[in-house]
A and B are shown apart, each in its own frame.
Chain A
């Protein structure tokens, strides 16, 4: 809502500047988004009269003018050739910044000091409607009666500021100037001066119309339909003051009749529509459109209407789309002699649906959607009558008011005690009284209980708490003190699952991975590659195809991030995300879907070059190391099995990850045939389901004491066939070593010189330890030989001495 300060001044006393008022309103809950100064660029432009002009002594084409600017005369040099003594012209004084951003400074032109600039239309961004004809191509010459010394913006009627209100949905009343004035009055403790019709709900003192009846067929969608018949219509432009206010409000002036309807709507908040009475056949029907019905609206577009569109029609045809836009057939034209002016109350829901469907939004539909006061219909017509007569635009002759049930007028009981308690602010009866007086609300009072009559324009006030807000905001929110809740102390702590997610992130970050956060929606095709098309959930109204399904895998998002970073020459990519995947078990969804938490990561490239450390290639084992770190953190052990069914992974370099015999995810190198699509070479990735992990995690560490007896370490190297699983050999060693063998580490894998083709050498470090005694070399030697024999038999292994 754009509020002209000049207009507002007519409705309420304001002794604040536009900026100050903006602050008052904003602090009072009516947010002012901007303050526009309409006089911008004209602040230092005044009307001057050319007292004399003489040829410049040193230049043929220049004139030196002596200009009377009111209090004094100034000398100004100009190159324009259209001036003569006595002309009144706009003068930009020194310091002016014109609408075209030209800054005026004192200057010297060929030896003559110029104390300002005479302006052309172009420099002032004005059109030919301002000034005399001979202004064309030269300085703008104004009418002879233009007042010397007056600000040029004031002369043009631009000396005004406009507040742009950003209204919350609960305050549609402020889409009317009278209610903005009431609001300003409440917040500043002033009385509004409203037009005499603003508070009237009575009918007009006019006879009922002959031969015209209003028939409301859709009672739910139209509670009230009032009309005014106007004869002796004289179509002309509206007066300058009205045009100016309309323009300030962002409405284009058209003609006196249209302008009056718009002006009254802006002032009173009630949308109006004028029909050419002579083009109405029979009665007015407020009804729903018939299937296939068409109407050509005022913008010249033929529109096919759906069956639930609310229409204004006569006996023959549709005249207007109710509350949205009129039809061409009943449009007011220059020849119109007689009018029907509609002032009706339509249901916001219906208007919103229609305006959406037709893609038509207007000042009227906007107001209906947000809520219009049904009690204001007739009062607004009263104001229309006043202006019609004042402007000589027509003679109101008849009045109609078809009325269905209107909402009851509300009463709210407000307890001073309760209000004080809820706000935490000690209030006296007199404080409440003061607030209600400022609001101009009627009330009855008894021992701290106020029965408040709510005016019909404040439909947002429904319950006691709503009135508490009125009290708080009029008193000022700043008066509310800061306290802390009374009552028992509570303790806050994360749930085990929340703690688990935190620890998981911590392990990954400590392992050197960077956390990323991607959109949870993705493209259907991409998600199907790594997730489950069968379970994916589609949005009905996605922003675009690539963001149209809820992900069932985190992998596509991570691959995209990796690819984007690679393209930007960020090498060393090792990233992870802990995030939700979404699984629908039916289509369409009837129940809320499963939300499954997962962790996934992608590593590609190698660690950066460093003078001290060798570069690490991010490969299968890098990622496996990270998974082992996760397992260690939660006291778990993962099994890795060659993956069978993962076509997008390298078959020889990928594994399914198992926990307690349940597959919880995978890791592996991306299949070479996928590399092109993602523009990623040798990316290694993993994805794990977190539910199973959380279920089996070790809740707390049980500490073990440190052995008091010395340990014995032995190395053991064996040469085995090349496809032997190292894990299998380790498991066997553990089994053979019994409980004295505390730990086995694989410290070397070797193929090449001195190892026969088709075989590899595995070297293990065996750690023997007893908790009860010191071990002897002898018993360790026996164990070691037993282990060696055992693996020689099982794995076709040879001892590598």
Chain B
């Protein structure tokens, strides 16, 4: 119904475009040169107003109407069931909606049925009012806009200003996204810290992580929310990943940009790109089904006991995932080192290897460091590989053959677990906020680092 209204508004706008264009032509008295703006711009101007007014009204009424109805009927149900808990009232309301929509509800009783009839009526009124008001508003905007049309009317400048405004809004979506992320994370983080009595130190430095086991009356046991094992596990897996990715990625980049023949580059570069394009869930499956059992068997063959969800397996596969990231970024910065530096070095009699080690790499170092930092930031935020191949229990250990858990694994477990969403959200969002801050800091630091130490050659 409401989607149809949106379509109707768009149709109305197209109609007004045609009408306004025709009116502009007739106003020009046969010579289009008499107009300030071409007829299409007159049409566009009116059309933009119709769409903007219509859709804005629709959106506001839709959200507002819904919220108003929910609030009103929640109040009604509460009045009818004074002793019920909030969650029961919510359930009654969703049942009422289900009955009104002709769907299956969890229970049927006189209160639900009576309210459902009221609700159906109110809902119909809401929908028709929304449709009527938004269509009416759009129509009004169109009529008012058309009345402006005259030979002197600066329709092009005005419609261009509106369009640039829309472009600006699109760009501002990025800011809204950041704002949304920060606000939603901070809100739940505050709730969580409030539920452990603002002992943030217990979260940052405690060593026991089992947040859902000590919940009582919305308060959490502050001795069970220590995230150190998660940080340590994340750090270990990230460390292993970087031990794999940095040497391989860096040497591959050096070889490809300095030694490789065009032919080798022709197949080696796409190969690295394929590695970069493989979804992380595939890496996770590879880690869990192929690499972890292999490491376990290899370890047992030489007499080591290896957990089947060892940090080593997840770390190695994550390293493979990050290789193309490091190699392509390093490749770019190595290629950006001007040829004149190399030529100068060769002229002094240095070999290729000496030139690379003593001239090219130092010149490219800031870029390489930033590539590594960005790689670390990706490894920390990576989820699927660790969810599928790393452990789930918080385990504080320095042994890479044991199972450790990471921040991202815990977020997934908390959100997808059986615990009530409102309880699990606190620790999950707090972990996500920590993750967000760390990756943000790494990024900003990486960019700053490049900007500060980069040598400018031209």
A binds B: no
